[in-house]
Amino acid sequence: MPSPLMQTVRGYIALTKPNIIWLLLVTTLPAMVLAQGGWPSTWLVVATLFGGALAAGSANAINQYADRDIDQRMARTRRRPLPRGMVSSAGALWFGLALGVVATVWMVAVVNLLSALLTLGAIGFYVIIYTYILKRRTTQNIVIGGAAGAAPALIGWTAVTGNMWSLEPIFMFLIVFWWTPPHFWALAIVLEDDYRAAGVPMLPVVQGKRATKVQIVFWAIMLTALTVLFAGVSGLGPIYLGTALIGGGLFIAAAVWLLRQPGKRGAFAVYKFSTYYLAALFLAVMADTLSR
């Protein structure tokens, strides 16, 4: 049995949600490679990814502090550190704030000021706009709140260039922004009962599963069009374009298939697929750039 100290350490690590940080970083690195037109300085890559991981951990920890009451009521989240008493509420808050300060200072000192400001803005947007203002008030919570998760692409680009005066980072931001609603709504279908019990107005709770599935199809179509358009904007070649066409086609097909399924059936599979789809899309950006 782990010692009390080890349980506390594990609790603080779990507050950062390390299982989802990797997806944020996998959108950062390809943006850096595309901005450089090849592999950037390895030190800059490591420094940017480290700062991004700290920032994501900060936002996730403060999010769990803010959501500690609803996490207690949801079966999916009852085993998080705060509901289980592994970490105190005050400890979680101060830990999250400390990570945010360290992340921002690190980015200023080692990367650049613009990337640091974007990093701080992403933390603030996720915590204040999404968690405290939108999540418990509107079905559009994940639509607007998705901007925070899309910020790493901008941060990766600015880490290399020091500016955003280009369409490429804007398109990469928009791709992640457009991907977030269909990705998260699929999970929300699975967790509909949990969200209803917690009083969180996710789309399936308010409008029902079928309306949510229709929205997933609609957003998957828009997302695919956006990813294909990005090929022309960025000048990327067949590796990326093929991934965008095939991956987008599969995403649309999966969304249509989900629409035809009863109840929650297939929703988790679509959620998982969308995760790997985004990772494959951004890795294709990197592979295409490095293959030139």
User: What does the pLDDT look like over 7-36, one tens digit per residue?
Assistant: 888 999 999 998 888 888 899 999 999 999
Among 165, 196, 212, the domain boundary falls at: 165
The verdict on 170 and 194 lying in the same domain is yes
Where residue 97 sits, what CATH number does that domain have?
1.10.357.140
Taking residues 55-73, report their average pLDDT. 94
Report the chain's mean pLDDT, rounded to a whole number: 94
Buried b (16+ CB within 10 A) or exposed e, 98-121: ebbeebbebbbebbbebbbebbbb
Among 134, 165, 196, the domain boundary falls at: 165
The verdict on 241 and 153 lying in the same domain is no
Among 165, 181, 214, the domain boundary falls at: 165
The verdict on 155 and 173 lying in the same domain is no
pLDDT digits (tens, 9 = 90+) for 163-220: 998 999 999 999 999 999 999 999 999 999 999 998 999 999 999 999 999 999 999 9
What pLDDT, on the 0 to 100 scale, is given for residue 52?
96
Number of domains in the chain: 2
Whole-number CA gyration radius for the chain: 19
Pairwise CA distance, residues 192 & 195, whole Å: 5
Domain that residue 269 falls in: 166-292
Pairwise CA distance, residues 200 & 178, whole Å: 22
Confidence of residue 2 (pLDDT cuts 50, 70, 90): low
pLDDT digits (tens, 9 = 90+) for 68-88: 999 898 888 888 999 988 899
Global pTM value: 0.95
The verdict on 190 and 221 lying in the same domain is yes
What pLDDT, on the 0 to 100 scale, is given for residue 25?
87
The verdict on 68 and 211 lying in the same domain is no
What pLDDT, on the 0 to 100 scale, is given for residue 24?
84
The verdict on 155 and 196 lying in the same domain is no
Where residue 238 sits, what CATH number does that domain have?
1.20.120
Confidence of residue 1 (pLDDT cuts 50, 70, 90): low
The verdict on 160 and 171 lying in the same domain is no
The verdict on 26 and 161 lying in the same domain is yes
Taking residues 285-289, report their average pLDDT. 97
pLDDT digits (tens, 9 = 90+) for 227-265: 999 999 999 999 999 999 999 999 999 999 999 999 999
Pairwise CA distance, residues 233 & 55, whole Å: 29
pLDDT digits (tens, 9 = 90+) for 81-136: 999 888 999 999 999 999 999 999 999 999 999 999 999 999 999 999 999 999 99
The verdict on 277 and 177 lying in the same domain is yes
- C-beta separation of 252 from 222 below 8 A: no
The verdict on 142 and 176 lying in the same domain is no
Pairwise CA distance, residues 40 & 286, whole Å: 11
The verdict on 177 and 116 lying in the same domain is no
The verdict on 259 and 188 lying in the same domain is yes
